[in-house]
Amino acid sequence: MKPCIALTKGRLEKQFLDFFKSLSYDVDPLVNKGRKLRVETDDFQFVFAKGVDVTTYVEHGIADLGIVGEDILAEFQPDVYNLFPLPFGQCRMALATEEGKVWPERKRRIASKYTNITKEFFKQKGESVEIFKLEGSVELAPILGLADGIVDIVETGNTLKENGLVIKEEFFEFSARCIANRSSLKIKRDELATVIESFRRGVVVK
């Protein structure tokens, strides 16, 4: 059976395909997949899922390898091998607030998809905050008055800018990572060696 790679859907997907193509792999079936979530190429089976679900499939050995943002690994700490960084998906984790708004002295309210990262960030500061878990579009929270600030990923900075928010503090720079199932690495060592090496080499070449 061909090795299975779980790929994070959305913005990492496009960047991965460019990277994969640059390594001379066959990407046509992936580019032309339409709404299919499972696609086979000459060498691999691919499954497309949300970042956190990529880690679940890899952790449970459904997928041998996964391509996922390090934000997801930091937030959910899945039991997988975190092999190496990939040369795409560069982002920063930041605390952001509304431009021109005074940072209040009372207990601050922070909205985020990343509640564990947020908790840890403020714990390191020795500051107690109230955290609101949102599932997306967290930039809305300060605008609508739910929170004083947000903790979220910033890539180009456009979403913050277009919503009148500014970075108050950046605290974690990361990229996409290649992860592996712990037993696949042992059992399928030979089948996975070439692709792992080419992903790793891709990193070195950049």
State the residues that interact with ligand PRP by CB under 6 A. Answer: 136-137, 139, 152-159
Work out how close the CB of 66 gets to ligand PRP at its nearest, in angstroms, rounded to a whole number: 18
Name the residue with the smallest CB distance to ligand PRP.
136
3-state secondary structure the chain: CCCEEEEECCHHHHHHHHHHHHCCCCCHHHHCCCCCCEEECCCCEEEEECHHHHHHHHHCCCCCEEEEEHHHHHHHCCCCEEEEECCCCCEEEEEEEECCCCCCCCCCEEEECCHHHHHHHHHHHCCCCEEEECCCCCCHHHHHCCCCEEEEEECCCHHHHHCCEEEEEEEEEECEEEEECHHHHHHCHHHHHHHHHHHHHHHHHC
Of 154 and 166, which CB lies nearer to ligand PRP in the complex structure?
154
Of 60 and 168, which CB lies nearer to ligand PRP in the complex structure?
168
Cα separation, 80 vs 60, whole angstroms? 9
Work out how close the CB of 13 gets to ligand PRP at its nearest, in angstroms, rounded to a whole number: 12
Of 177 and 192, which CB lies nearer to ligand PRP in the complex structure?
177
Work out how close the CB of 11 gets to ligand PRP at its nearest, in angstroms, rounded to a whole number: 7
Work out how close the CB of 170 gets to ligand PRP at its nearest, in angstroms, rounded to a whole number: 12
Work out how close the CB of 154 gets to ligand PRP at its nearest, in angstroms, rounded to a whole number: 4
Work out how close the CB of 159 gets to ligand PRP at its nearest, in angstroms, rounded to a whole number: 3
Of 155 and 169, which CB lies nearer to ligand PRP in the complex structure?
155
Of 100 and 136, which CB lies nearer to ligand PRP in the complex structure?
136
Cα separation, 85 vs 66, whole angstroms? 12
Of 52 and 203, which CB lies nearer to ligand PRP in the complex structure?
52
